[in-house]
A = this chain, B = another copy of it.
């Protein structure tokens, strides 16, 4: 089969132990012999069997990453960046997709425990979920957990995310400065922390009586349906804020279809600053979440935890990006 340490040892005329030490750059082995062995190993095309190594070392060198939806370009971007940073840091990355299903998320974590991952980065689902006991199992297994992009209430763990409430406040403030007086917020189900934060920010600036529309899901089509409804009900509004960019796009399309001019009659805002806010004829004002920084911080923190350090909560600022849809 493949070439083993034993083969290298024989070829080099030394023992397996020496080869192992040499390859791991131990100072125990003579400089010269070390070099010779490493050269020989490379020449022979030796590559250690990762499973033997993991078994002997009793650690895997891999961290798990769980995202709720890989087709959402926001999470896709997160995955890409975390993947890059993690590899650069010399760890393996095991990517899993919970598909927004609590059951799936639990299964994934259990599998990660079995696979002895040394840390878990988890982006919460965008649905409410009750059972959280899989996190206790993680904890019992002594595996550090770090939330990214949002957290679950009731689960004790650090988190790297943006100040979503503040981001939303900035958006509303911006709209009001432009003269909007009747803003409406389109959001998803209550009890999802990342959404609740946005709602709180909205209410704080727009006033507690401002209109908040709660949809079943934070999707394009749900936004479309909701705006249809608003128009049909004759609700008066001059600003439409959405909890993500794709929803804003849906909202805008429906408004335009009904002859409602954006931004003249209604200003529209998204959130996240993913590709959707830039590829429309009418670019969308939004709060940019700095994905790359988020990823960098997440990798940095989990790395600390893995080497026995303490993690911190990291709260990054979003950046207000003003585009055509609000001016």
Interface residues of A (CB under 8 A from B): 1-2, 47-52, 54-55, 58, 60, 70-71, 73, 76-77, 79-80, 83, 94-95, 97, 99, 113-116, 141, 220, 246, 249-250, 253, 256-257, 275-276, 279-281
Name the contact of A50 in the complex, choosing from B48, B71, B115, B276 (C-beta under 8 A).
B115
Residue A54 contacts which of B51, B58, B73, B141 (CB distance < 8 angstroms)?
B51
What chain B residues lie within 8 Å of A80 (beta carbons)?
70-71, 97, 99
Cα–Cα, bound, A52→B52 (Å) = 7
A55 in contact with B51 (CB, 8 Å): yes
B50 and A279 form a contact (CB under 8 A): no
Q: Which residue of B lies closest to A280 (CB)?
A: B253
Q: Which residue of B has the minimal Cβ distance to A77?
A: B71
Q: Closest residue of chain B to A96, judged by CB?
A: B83
Cα distance, A48 to B51, chains bound together (Å): 14
Residues of chain B within 8 A (CB-CB) of A97 are: 79-80, 83
Q: Looking at A48, A51, A77, A141, which has the most chain B CB atoms within 10 Å of its CB? A: A51
Knowing that A51-B51, A70-B76 touch, tell me 11 more A-B residue pairs with CB under 8 angstroms.
A1-B58, A50-B115, A55-B55, A71-B77, A71-B275, A73-B76, A80-B97, A220-B279, A249-B279, A250-B279, A276-B279
Chain B proximity of A107: nearest CB distance (Å) = 9
Could you tell me the distance in whole angstroms from the C-beta of A240 to the nearest C-beta in chain B? 16
| Interface pairs (26), CB distance under 8 Å | A1-B58, A2-B141, A47-B113, A47-B114, A49-B55, A49-B116, A50-B114, A50-B115, A50-B116, A51-B52, A51-B55, A51-B60, A70-B70, A70-B79, A71-B76, A71-B77, A71-B275, A73-B73, A80-B99, A83-B97, A246-B279, A249-B279, A250-B279, A253-B279, A253-B280, A280-B280
A251, chain B: closest CB distance, angstroms: 11
> Could you tell me the distance between the alpha carbons of A161 and B20 in the complex, rounded to whole angstroms?
45
Closest chain B CB from A317 CB (angstroms):
23
- Give bound CA distance, A97 to B81, whole Å: 11
Which residues does chain B contribute within 8 Å of A52, judged by CB atoms?
A: 51, 55
Q: Which residue of B lies closest to A71 (CB)?
A: B76
Q: Which residue of B lies closest to A47 (CB)?
A: B114
